[in-house]
Amino acid sequence: DIQMTQSPSSLSASVGDRVTITCRASQTINNYLNWYQQKPGKAPKLLIYTASSLQSGVPSRFSGSGSGTDFTLTVNSLQPEDFATYYCQQSYSIPRTFGQGTKLEIK
Amino acid sequence: EVHLVASGGGLVQPGGSLRLSCAASGFTFSRYAMNWVRQAPGKGLEWLSYISADSGMIYQADSVKGRFSISRDNANNSVFLQINSLRAEDTALFYCARGFGSFDYGEFLDYWGQGTLVTVSS
Protein backbone atom coordinates (compact mmCIF):
# COMPACT_ATOMS: atom_id res chain seq x y z
CA ASP A 1 0.00 0.00 0.00
CA ILE A 2 1.13 3.56 -0.65
CA GLN A 3 1.56 5.51 2.56
CA MET A 4 0.66 9.19 2.53
CA THR A 5 2.32 11.37 5.14
CA GLN A 6 1.17 14.92 5.76
CA SER A 7 3.04 17.60 7.62
CA PRO A 8 2.44 19.29 9.85
CA SER A 9 -0.31 17.41 11.67
CA SER A 10 -1.57 20.69 13.04
CA LEU A 11 -0.94 24.29 12.26
CA SER A 12 -1.90 27.58 13.86
CA ALA A 13 -2.25 30.63 11.67
CA SER A 14 -3.98 33.98 11.51
CA VAL A 15 -6.49 35.41 9.08
CA GLY A 16 -4.55 36.81 6.14
CA ASP A 17 -1.60 34.43 6.51
CA ARG A 18 -0.25 32.18 3.79
CA VAL A 19 0.08 28.54 4.79
CA THR A 20 1.52 25.47 3.13
CA ILE A 21 0.73 21.85 3.89
CA THR A 22 2.88 19.09 2.50
CA CYS A 23 2.04 15.53 1.55
CA ARG A 24 4.60 12.86 0.78
CA ALA A 25 3.86 9.53 -0.85
CA SER A 26 5.88 6.42 -0.04
CA GLN A 27 6.35 5.79 -3.77
CA THR A 28 5.76 7.74 -6.93
CA ILE A 29 2.13 8.51 -7.71
CA ASN A 30 2.71 10.71 -10.77
CA ASN A 31 0.34 13.61 -10.19
CA TYR A 32 -2.58 11.52 -8.94
CA LEU A 33 -2.96 13.47 -5.74
CA ASN A 34 -6.12 15.09 -4.46
CA TRP A 35 -6.78 17.48 -1.58
CA TYR A 36 -9.93 17.64 0.53
CA GLN A 37 -11.13 20.04 3.19
CA GLN A 38 -13.28 18.87 6.08
CA LYS A 39 -15.03 21.06 8.60
CA PRO A 40 -16.38 19.67 11.89
CA GLY A 41 -19.57 17.69 11.42
CA LYS A 42 -19.40 17.97 7.64
CA ALA A 43 -18.44 15.70 4.79
CA PRO A 44 -15.10 16.27 3.07
CA LYS A 45 -15.06 18.67 0.15
CA LEU A 46 -12.80 18.34 -2.88
CA LEU A 47 -10.43 21.28 -3.29
CA ILE A 48 -7.69 20.21 -5.69
CA TYR A 49 -7.44 17.21 -8.03
CA THR A 50 -4.51 15.75 -9.95
CA ALA A 51 -2.13 17.77 -7.83
CA SER A 52 -2.84 21.22 -9.18
CA SER A 53 -6.31 21.48 -10.74
CA LEU A 54 -8.71 23.66 -8.79
CA GLN A 55 -12.16 22.15 -8.36
CA SER A 56 -14.99 24.29 -9.67
CA GLY A 57 -16.26 26.76 -7.10
CA VAL A 58 -13.17 26.60 -4.91
CA PRO A 59 -11.60 30.01 -4.25
CA SER A 60 -8.42 30.77 -6.15
CA ARG A 61 -6.49 31.36 -2.92
CA PHE A 62 -6.16 27.56 -2.81
CA SER A 63 -3.48 26.05 -4.98
CA GLY A 64 -1.67 22.75 -5.28
CA SER A 65 1.62 21.66 -6.73
CA GLY A 66 3.98 18.73 -6.96
CA SER A 67 4.47 15.45 -8.73
CA GLY A 68 6.12 12.13 -8.07
CA THR A 69 6.21 11.81 -4.30
CA ASP A 70 6.09 15.36 -2.92
CA PHE A 71 3.10 17.66 -3.00
CA THR A 72 1.96 20.88 -1.42
CA LEU A 73 -1.31 22.63 -0.74
CA THR A 74 -1.03 26.38 -0.32
CA VAL A 75 -3.68 28.72 0.98
CA ASN A 76 -3.03 32.38 0.35
CA SER A 77 -4.60 35.04 2.52
CA LEU A 78 -6.39 32.74 4.96
CA GLN A 79 -10.05 33.46 5.51
CA PRO A 80 -12.05 32.54 8.64
CA GLU A 81 -13.86 29.78 6.73
CA ASP A 82 -10.56 28.09 5.83
CA PHE A 83 -9.93 26.82 9.34
CA ALA A 84 -10.57 23.13 8.94
CA THR A 85 -8.80 19.80 8.52
CA TYR A 86 -7.13 19.03 5.20
CA TYR A 87 -6.46 15.60 3.75
CA CYS A 88 -4.43 14.48 0.78
CA GLN A 89 -5.36 11.28 -1.06
CA GLN A 90 -3.59 9.30 -3.75
CA SER A 91 -5.53 7.84 -6.66
CA TYR A 92 -2.59 6.09 -8.31
CA SER A 93 -3.31 2.62 -6.98
CA ILE A 94 -5.57 0.48 -4.85
CA PRO A 95 -6.12 0.89 -2.01
CA ARG A 96 -6.73 4.59 -2.30
CA THR A 97 -5.03 6.05 0.75
CA PHE A 98 -5.39 9.31 2.61
CA GLY A 99 -2.91 11.26 4.62
CA GLN A 100 -3.56 11.48 8.34
CA GLY A 101 -4.87 15.03 8.05
CA THR A 102 -3.64 18.51 8.91
CA LYS A 103 -5.74 20.54 11.32
CA LEU A 104 -5.53 24.23 10.58
CA GLU A 105 -6.46 26.30 13.61
CA ILE A 106 -6.84 29.96 14.31
CA LYS A 107 -3.91 31.49 16.17
CA GLU B 1 -27.55 19.83 -8.18
CA VAL B 2 -25.77 16.65 -7.14
CA HIS B 3 -27.07 15.04 -3.97
CA LEU B 4 -25.93 11.90 -2.22
CA VAL B 5 -27.93 10.74 0.78
CA ALA B 6 -26.54 7.89 2.84
CA SER B 7 -28.73 5.84 5.14
CA GLY B 8 -28.92 2.51 6.90
CA GLY B 9 -26.57 3.07 9.79
CA GLY B 10 -27.41 2.39 13.39
CA LEU B 11 -26.46 0.55 16.54
CA VAL B 12 -25.54 -3.08 15.96
CA GLN B 13 -24.04 -5.76 18.16
CA PRO B 14 -20.62 -7.24 17.44
CA GLY B 15 -20.94 -9.88 14.76
CA GLY B 16 -24.01 -8.23 13.30
CA SER B 17 -24.70 -6.92 9.82
CA LEU B 18 -26.04 -3.80 8.17
CA ARG B 19 -26.80 -2.74 4.64
CA LEU B 20 -25.92 0.87 3.96
CA SER B 21 -27.56 2.70 1.09
CA CYS B 22 -26.70 5.85 -0.79
CA ALA B 23 -29.34 7.49 -2.94
CA ALA B 24 -28.07 9.70 -5.72
CA SER B 25 -29.78 12.50 -7.59
CA GLY B 26 -28.92 15.44 -9.81
CA PHE B 27 -26.68 13.56 -12.24
CA THR B 28 -26.71 10.54 -14.55
CA PHE B 29 -25.85 7.96 -11.92
CA SER B 30 -25.15 5.15 -14.39
CA ARG B 31 -22.19 7.06 -15.83
CA TYR B 32 -20.20 7.42 -12.63
CA ALA B 33 -18.20 5.20 -10.35
CA MET B 34 -18.98 5.28 -6.65
CA ASN B 35 -16.91 4.83 -3.53
CA TRP B 36 -17.39 4.29 0.18
CA VAL B 37 -15.12 5.98 2.72
CA ARG B 38 -15.35 5.80 6.50
CA GLN B 39 -14.20 7.91 9.39
CA ALA B 40 -13.93 6.60 12.92
CA PRO B 41 -14.78 9.11 15.66
CA GLY B 42 -12.05 11.73 15.87
CA LYS B 43 -9.94 9.95 13.26
CA GLY B 44 -9.01 10.38 9.63
CA LEU B 45 -10.52 9.13 6.40
CA GLU B 46 -10.26 5.51 5.28
CA TRP B 47 -11.17 4.46 1.75
CA LEU B 48 -13.17 1.22 1.74
CA SER B 49 -14.50 0.29 -1.65
CA TYR B 50 -14.98 1.27 -5.30
CA ILE B 51 -17.50 0.16 -7.90
CA SER B 52 -17.36 1.20 -11.54
CA ALA B 53 -20.33 2.69 -13.37
CA ASP B 54 -21.35 -0.65 -14.85
CA SER B 55 -20.35 -2.73 -11.79
CA GLY B 56 -17.67 -4.35 -13.93
CA MET B 57 -14.84 -3.31 -11.61
CA ILE B 58 -15.01 -3.64 -7.85
CA TYR B 59 -12.14 -2.98 -5.43
CA GLN B 60 -11.94 -3.08 -1.66
CA ALA B 61 -9.51 -2.29 1.07
CA ASP B 62 -7.84 -5.36 2.54
CA SER B 63 -9.09 -4.34 5.98
CA VAL B 64 -12.68 -5.11 4.97
CA LYS B 65 -12.26 -7.70 2.25
CA GLY B 66 -14.51 -10.66 2.88
CA ARG B 67 -16.71 -8.71 5.30
CA PHE B 68 -17.88 -5.72 3.27
CA SER B 69 -19.46 -5.89 -0.18
CA ILE B 70 -20.30 -3.03 -2.53
CA SER B 71 -23.06 -3.13 -5.12
CA ARG B 72 -25.22 -0.72 -7.07
CA ASP B 73 -28.63 -0.44 -8.73
CA ASN B 74 -28.43 1.93 -11.65
CA ALA B 75 -32.15 1.71 -12.30
CA ASN B 76 -32.78 3.19 -8.86
CA ASN B 77 -29.73 5.46 -8.63
CA SER B 78 -28.36 3.78 -5.54
CA VAL B 79 -25.17 2.25 -4.27
CA PHE B 80 -24.97 -0.10 -1.33
CA LEU B 81 -22.45 -1.38 1.17
CA GLN B 82 -23.23 -4.66 2.88
CA ILE B 83 -21.22 -4.84 6.07
CA ASN B 84 -21.00 -8.16 7.93
CA SER B 85 -19.24 -9.58 10.98
CA LEU B 86 -19.07 -6.14 12.50
CA ARG B 87 -16.47 -5.35 15.13
CA ALA B 88 -16.16 -2.49 17.60
CA GLU B 89 -13.42 -0.99 15.46
CA ASP B 90 -15.87 -0.66 12.57
CA THR B 91 -17.69 2.10 14.49
CA ALA B 92 -17.52 5.05 12.12
CA LEU B 93 -19.33 7.52 9.92
CA PHE B 94 -19.66 5.94 6.51
CA TYR B 95 -19.63 8.25 3.49
CA CYS B 96 -20.55 7.52 -0.10
CA ALA B 97 -18.73 9.59 -2.69
CA ARG B 98 -18.92 9.94 -6.44
CA GLY B 99 -15.83 9.09 -8.42
CA PHE B 100 -14.94 11.39 -11.29
CA GLY B 101 -12.42 10.63 -13.99
CA SER B 102 -10.69 7.50 -15.15
CA PHE B 103 -9.99 4.90 -12.50
CA ASP B 104 -6.51 4.35 -13.92
CA TYR B 105 -5.67 8.00 -14.37
CA GLY B 106 -6.35 9.88 -11.21
CA GLU B 107 -9.97 9.45 -10.26
CA PHE B 108 -11.09 11.86 -7.54
CA LEU B 109 -14.09 12.08 -5.21
CA ASP B 110 -15.97 15.17 -6.24
CA TYR B 111 -19.23 14.83 -4.30
CA TRP B 112 -19.82 13.27 -0.92
CA GLY B 113 -22.91 12.31 0.99
CA GLN B 114 -23.47 13.46 4.55
CA GLY B 115 -22.58 10.08 6.01
CA THR B 116 -24.42 7.46 8.01
CA LEU B 117 -23.22 6.47 11.46
CA VAL B 118 -22.55 2.85 12.32
CA THR B 119 -22.02 2.06 15.98
CA VAL B 120 -20.94 -1.44 16.94
CA SER B 121 -21.50 -2.14 20.61
CA SER B 122 -23.06 -4.71 22.88
The 10s digit of each residue's pLDDT in A7-52 is 999 999 999 999 999 999 999 999 999 999 999 999 999 999 999 9
pLDDT over 90, % of chain A: 98
Contact residues, chain A, for B98 at CB < 8 Å: none
Q: Measured in whole angstroms, how far is the alpha carbon of residue B56 from the centre of its chain?
A: 17
Q: pLDDT for B14-60, tens place per residue? A: 999 999 999 999 999 999 999 999 999 999 999 999 999 999 999 99
Q: Residues of B numbered 44-103 whose beta carbons fall under 8 angstroms of chain A's beta carbons: which are they?
A: 44-47, 50, 59-62, 95, 97, 100-101
Q: Measured in whole angstroms, how far is the alpha carbon of residue A84 from the centre of its chain?
A: 11
pLDDT over 70, % of chain A: 100
Q: How many CB pairs under 8 A join A and B?
A: 64
Cα end-to-end span (Å), chain B: 40
Q: Is the pLDDT of residue B81 over 90?
A: yes
Task: Write the CB contacts of A21 (distance below 8 Å, at least 6 apart in sequence).
Answer: A6, A7, A8, A11, A72, A73, A74, A86, A88, A102, A104
Looking at every residue in chain A, the average pLDDT score rounds to 97
Higher pLDDT, B106 or B92: B92
What is the CB-side half-sphere exposure of residue B23 using CA atoms within 13 A? 4
Q: How far is A65 from chain B (nearest CA, A)?
A: 15
Among chain A residues, the shortest Cα distance to B110 is held by A46
Nearest CB among A34, A45, A101 relative to B44 is that of: A101
Q: Is the pLDDT of residue B102 over 90?
A: no
Q: Would you list which residues of chain A are within 8 Å, Cβ to Cβ, of chain B?
A: 1, 30-32, 34, 36, 38, 43-46, 49-50, 55, 87, 89, 91-92, 94-101
Residue A26 has what pLDDT? 98
β-pair partners for B39: B45, B93
